[in-house]
Chains A and B, each alone.
Chain A
Amino acid sequence: MNSTTPLAIGEQQHVRFAEGLGLDCGVTLAPVDIAYRTYGTLSEKRDNAILICHAFTGDQYVAEEHPLTGKPGWWSRMVGPGKPIDTNRFFVICSNVLGGCMGSTGPRSLRTDAEGDGAELWGTAFPPITIRDMVRAQHKLVHALGIEKLFAVIGGSMGGMQVLEWTVTYPQMMLAAMPIATSPFHSAQNIAFNEVGRQAIIADPDWRGGRYWADDVVPARGLAVARMMGHITYLSEEALTRKFGRRMRRGPVSGQGPEGPVSMFSDIFEVESYLRYQGSTFVRRFDANSYLTITRAMDWFDIAADHDGELTHAFAGTPVRFCVVSFSSDWLFPTSAARTLVRALNRAAANVSFVEIETDKGHDSFLLEEPDFDRTVRGFLCGVAEHAGLA
């Protein structure tokens, strides 16, 4: 697949909102397409819907084979029949975020005028969006699906930011919220890492001022470097040591190393090989301008800033049941960030559970095999159902 062409929207299950969406920046984006997938069956009372919010580079393919990569869904170990988020019981919805590149409107979408004609992609002209804009788009989708109240909104990392934004913007529309491995604001360190990723993309000559698609190229090297660095932040030192240690992969390296004569790069460390692989596969499925747009949305995220600088005010009188989860070796969204959130929720007398899962797998733990985490998700959802009289 050539990532410079717009994704054929017809291939994706989607809704189109011709009237568009008013964004935080003041622009009305129209039309807006939201690509989504659902699993399970909506109950007659429409009270069993769970919205899953995907992380930065995730998409709507939660629990099925990905159409581009052929890999299993990113959370197929969590979502499915008999899984902790049980699709025999719940109707699960996941949509590609606004600004994404898997079918929802984003920088790789065709920019159309009032008559629906368009010749160019949005590219860097795509308006700046916020996490709240993403959530507003999801809200429109949920409404279009005929659901008035969600059973739960669940997500990790940037998905967790969307979960928190849901609880603040539409608290009456949900029973429960599960923000996982996330934070109520993007920290200076988070912003710093995002900026390095962005600069890697912008510094790639193939980025061409953001108009790479016009020349049918992609800033592959910049995007791959951004992904490689991001990937380091998703793991922990222990996990890297356990997986790779100082093991070498003996040369010759097939075309992956930097150009030049056989030299100090002819043998590479396993960890380098792993990161290069992660970088190269990412380039095939992700749009560079989407990378810029979404990382910027994350950087702006600060729930307290929208409520007089006081996080507790955002949650005052909230009827939502919260389950906050952090992972002990996550240094990108550390437990201290979760604790800040939990304390603000306590000050608001919210109904909150908080678990820190002991693991050495880092930020990515929420995507990996963690039996305690699975039990927590399953048990929390059962408890919510029981308290709501739905059990």
Chain B
Amino acid sequence: MRLDQRLIAEMIAPSTRVLDIGSGDGALIDHLFRYRGCDARGIELNMQLVTRSVAHGLPVVHGDADHDLAHYPDHAFDYVVLQRTLQAVARPREVLRQMLRIGRYAIVSFPNFGHWQLRLKLLLSGRMPMTSVWNTPWYETPNIHPCTIRDFLALCKQDGYIVEQWMAVDEEGERAPWRRSIRMANLFGEQALFLLRRRNG
């Protein structure tokens, strides 16, 4: 399991109901079932990963964030998790809205487009920046909705979501030290991780 998945697991209370959107090989839901006693389920787009997960006994359905969340009932889960995917969905705002309709809490991680290397590369070269995190050229990247940590916070404010916890994480998933200053985190954090809840939840 990646280190940032470990951070996500620590945000989740034991014995709760969890939906992991983009569950990949199922490492997080397996961990949550085995060690936290959670009823954890997954949605995954890549059919090979779905088959592998189900073949490991994990409850995973084939589907994607843009089309399949609408079919889940209100308040069906305690937590809905979206890992490193928000920037790749067609309608990120709608996906967030669905997550907080289905779940009491949403846990969202995404690569931070405000990182200093990206800013510097764009400034100096005048070309779309390429880094270890943002490593596909503009014409074939699946990341069609990049945002910065401050952009994301602005959207949360606009849509009335309460940020319970946030942290910047480096590419390996190690928690970065920028805990007090959002501006510093937005400059130095490679990935961002948020725990949100509904205002009335």
In the complex, are the beta carbons of B71 and A379 less than 8 A apart? no
Q: Is the CB of A383 within 8 A of B57?
A: yes
B61: which A residues are within 8 A, CB to CB?
342, 346, 352-354
For B50, list chain A residues within 8 Å (CB). 354-355
Tell me the bound Cα distance from A112 to B47 in angstroms. Answer: 53
Contact B71 A383 (CB under 8 A): no
Flag whether B73 is at the interface (Cβ < 8 A): yes
CA–CA, A355 and B60, complex, Å: 8
Set of chain A residues within 8 Å of B57, measured between Cβ atoms = 379-380, 382-384, 386-387
How close is A87's CB to chain B, nearest CB, in angstroms? 19
By a CB distance below 8 angstroms, the chain B residues around A343 are 68, 71
Q: Which of A321, A356, A375 contacts B59 (CB 8 A)?
A: A321
A378/B55 contact (C-beta < 8 A), A342-B61, A352-B61, A353-B60 known: yes
- Tell me the bound Cα distance from A386 to B68 in angstroms: 28
In the assembled complex, the Cα of A352 lies from the Cα of B68 at a distance in Å of 13
Interface of B is mostly: mixed
Nearest opposing residue in chain B for A324, CB measure: B61
Q: By the criterion CB–CB under 8 Å, are B51 and A357 in contact?
A: yes
CB atoms of B58 and A353 under 8 A apart:
yes
Docked CA distance A348–B76 (Å): 9
Interface residues of B (CB under 8 A from A): 33, 39, 41, 47, 50-51, 53-63, 68, 71-73, 76
| A350, B62: Cα distance in complex, Å | 15
Of B51, B63, B68, B71, the contact of A375 (CB 8 Å cutoff): B51
A195 to B71, CA, bound (A): 34
Bin chain A's interface residue count: 20 to 34
Assuming A379-B55, A380-B54, A382-B57, what are 5 further A-B pairs, CB within 8 angstroms?
Answer: A342-B63, A352-B41, A375-B55, A379-B57, A386-B57
A384–B54 Cα distance when bound, in Å, is 11
Query: Does chain B have a CB within 8 A of A351?
Result: yes
Determine the residue in chain B with the shortest Cβ distance to A325: B54
Tell me whether A249 is interfacial, beta carbon within 8 Å: no
When chains A and B are docked, how far (Å) is the Cα of A357 from the Cα of B33?
Answer: 26
* Interface contact A355-B54, CB-CB below 8 Å: yes
* Measured CA separation A384–B33 after assembly (Å): 13
User: For the complex, is A347 an interface residue (Cβ under 8 Å from B)?
Assistant: yes
Which residues of chain A have C-beta atoms less than 8 A from B41's C-beta?
351-352
Quick check: B54 and A356 within 8 Å, CB to CB?
A: no
Taking beta carbons and an 8 Å cutoff, which residues of A are in contact with B?
321, 323, 342-343, 346-349, 351-358, 372, 375-376, 378-380, 382-384, 386-387
A85–chain B nearest beta-carbon distance, Å: 14
| Bound Cα distance from A387 to B68, whole angstroms | 25
B54 contact from A346, A347, A349, A379, Cβ within 8 A: A379
Kindly state the separation between the CA atoms of A321 and B54 in the bound complex, as whole angstroms.
12
Which residue of chain B lies nearest to A379 when distances are taken between CB atoms in the complex?
Answer: B55
Q: When A349-B73, A356-B47 are in contact, do A376 and B59 touch as well, CB less than 8 Å? A: no
Interface centre among B50, B51, B56, B63 (most CB of A within 10 A): B51
**Are the CB atoms of A349 and B76 closer together than 8 Å?**
yes
Which of the residues A342, A347, A348, A376 comes within 8 Å of B55, measured between beta carbons? A376
Cβ–Cβ contact B54 & A353, under 8 A: yes
**For residue B76, which residues in chain A have a CB less than 8 angstroms away from its CB?**
349
CB–CB A352/B73 < 8 A: no
Tell me which of B33, B39, B51, B71 contacts A376 (CB under 8 A): B51
Docked CA distance A351–B51 (Å): 16
Q: Is the CB of A383 within 8 A of B58?
A: yes
A321, A342, A343, A349 pick with most chain B CB within 10 angstroms:
A349
